[in-house]
Amino acid sequence: MGGETVLRSIDLDITAGRVVVLRGSNGAGKTTLLKVLATRLRPTSGGGAVHGDDLITRAAAVRAHVGFLGVYGGNYPMLSARENLELASALTASAASDKGKVGVPAAAGIAAALELGGLGHTRNKLVRTFSSGMKKRLGLARLVLTDPRLWLLDEPYAALDDEAKSLVDRLVAEARGRGRTVLMASHESDRTELAPDAVLLLDAGLITDTARAGGVLRRSVGAAAGTART
Amino acid sequence: MSDLAIVLRVARKDLLQELRSRATTVATLFFSATTLVLMAFALGRDEGVLSQSAPGVLWVAVVFAGVIAAAQSIQADMEEGAFEQLLTYPVPRATIYLGKLLANWLYLSVLALLLAPTALTFYGARVTGVDAYLILAATLLLGALGFAVIATFYAALTSNLQAREALLPVLMFPIIVPILLAAVRATESVVASGAGSALTGVGPTVDLALAGDWVLLLAGFDLVYLVVCTALFHFVVED
């Protein structure tokens, strides 16, 4: 990344169906790690795989497994909440059919996701009129709708009120219940409702500490190349 | 979902955004009108010079407006991480490019079809005969396509750069020269000037066969650029 090394010697293997929280100060590399797993950034060395698909050689297949929620929500301001979800549903439809998901009528699925995100009453409003928290809720509704195998959440609690933060916890717990894997970067350290399976501390691109990691992930530091697998 | 359906979805999304914001429409229409007026002042009062310049001025206005349209198209996506989100969906990168290209092409085509009669009338040039009108329409559509192909590609290429507004025209103008040349020559060949130049005493000659040749060349350029840009778009959006 422009000559600066952001992630170093990361050797990580996350068991499917677990919730893992990434912690670390600003610039520690949390977002970069999420973007590498979302195939938005290509590692300069090393590699990784998501559900067996290589991040570099099978990036398109990896994207079929992954759902990414960025800090800003990733919505189109000049589309309504419903139209944003219709677009997401349409663009993930081919991957969903490949995964053999049960076919839920798109309109019903979208309405249900919006209700779950607490946006049922604003479904036809343009996103530009939304608050930051509502935009984040819409991003969460998108994840619920597309239901990827790996949820990558970048600061999902940012700009949310207490009720919405509890909603994040609930959605993550439900995703885990369906066997989905969740990897989130967060500064929130007191979310007892979340009950992550593991917490990783990232410092200057290195995983320096783990907590509650037994049976969930394997971590070793020292390899020259960074690898990440889920 | 088929690749064609994805292309149409992306194009629909871009057009819907523009219909609602009208940000590009207002900017490009104002800019195009300003270009036509300023060029008229710059060229002087010689009616022959003005009418002979009409095709060139028309395409300069389309090109300048197109730069704004393509840049705005990508910038609207960059807001709030929407473009990044788009790139995480499991769809071929080429479908995203072709969807945005389709939207830009439709927009530029409408703009060119509106500007052409305005510019030709304003500069005292005229088109006569059904064949001439058809060739002019084909020129406008193919010229807009070629320009949209390159503008969409370069707008994506420069989208993450700080000086993107300055770099976009600098990078793409040299590349569009073949498209611009063919489009201007084809338009010249179907347009009759209202009067001869005060300098030469003669106006350009309408030559529909020559115009047809330029249109074919324009279509060839479009095809080459379309194939190359579609194939390379994948590398443009990878970080």
Output the pTM of the full model. 0.87
Q: What sign does the CA torsion over A122, A125, A130, A134 have?
A: positive
Is residue A26 in a domain? yes
In 10 A of CB B6, how many CB atoms? 22
Is residue A222 in a domain? yes
CA angle B141, B146, B148 (to 5 degrees): 90
d(C-alpha B76, C-alpha A110), whole Å: 24
Residue B52: C-alpha distances to residues A128, B61, B130, B187 (Å) = 47, 16, 21, 11
Q: What CATH number should be reported for the domain holding residue A189? A: 3.40.50.300
Q: What is the pLDDT along chain A (230 residues), one digit of tens a residue?
A: 456 777 877 778 888 899 999 888 888 888 999 999 999 988 888 888 898 999 989 998 999 999 999 988 899 999 999 999 999 999 988 655 555 454 455 888 899 999 988 898 999 999 999 999 999 999 999 999 999 999 999 999 988 889 999 999 999 999 999 999 999 998 877 777 778 888 888 877 667 666 655 545 544 333 333 455 55
Whether A76 and B77 lie within 8 Å, measured CB to CB: yes
Strand partners, A11: A220, A227
Is residue A126 in a domain? no
Characterize A124-148 residue by residue with b for buried, 16 or more Cβ atoms within 10 angstroms of its Cβ, and e for exposed: eebbbebeebbbbbbbbbbbbbbbb
**Residue B204 near residue B191, CB atoms below 8 Å:** yes
**Residue B222 near residue B145, CB atoms below 8 Å:** yes
The residue range of the domain holding A170 is: 11-77+147-229
**Neighboring chain A residues of B85 at a CB cutoff of 8 Å:** 68, 70, 74-75
Nearest by CB to residue B82, choosing from A67, A71, A74, is A74
**Residue A77 near residue A83, CB atoms below 8 Å:** no
- Cβ-proximal residues to B120 (8 Å cutoff; 6+ apart), any chain: B54, B58, B126, B127, B191
Looking at CA atoms only, how far is residue B157 from chain A in angstroms?
15
User: Quick one: pLDDT at residue A216?
Assistant: 52
User: Quick one: pLDDT at residue B154?
Assistant: 94
Looking at CA atoms only, how far is residue A217 from chain B in angstroms?
25
**Neighboring chain B residues of A70 at a CB cutoff of 8 Å:** 81, 84-85
> What are the structural domain ranges in chain B?
3-236
Those residues of chain B that have pLDDT short of 70 are: 193-204, 239
What confidence tens digit (pLDDT) does each residue in B23-82 have? 888 889 999 999 999 999 998 888 888 888 999 999 999 999 888 888 888 888 888 889
> Is B159 in the A-facing interface, judged by CB distances under 8 Å?
no
User: Quick one: pLDDT at residue B7?
Assistant: 95
**Neighboring chain B residues of A77 at a CB cutoff of 8 Å:** 79-80, 82
User: Quick one: pLDDT at residue A42?
Assistant: 86
For chain B positions 133-152, those within 8 Å of chain A (CB to CB) are none
Is residue A221 in a domain? yes
User: Quick one: pLDDT at residue B45?
Assistant: 81
d(C-alpha B141, C-alpha B146), whole Å: 9
User: Quick one: pLDDT at residue A95?
Assistant: 57
ipTM for this model: 0.84
**Residue A60 near residue B92, CB atoms below 8 Å:** yes
> Is B92 in the A-facing interface, judged by CB distances under 8 Å?
yes
**Residue B148 near residue B105, CB atoms below 8 Å:** yes
Number of folded domains that form chain A: 1
Size of interface A-B (CB pairs under 8 A): 84
d(C-alpha A55, C-alpha A37), whole Å: 7
Whether B91 and A66 lie within 8 Å, measured CB to CB: no
Is residue A29 in a domain? yes
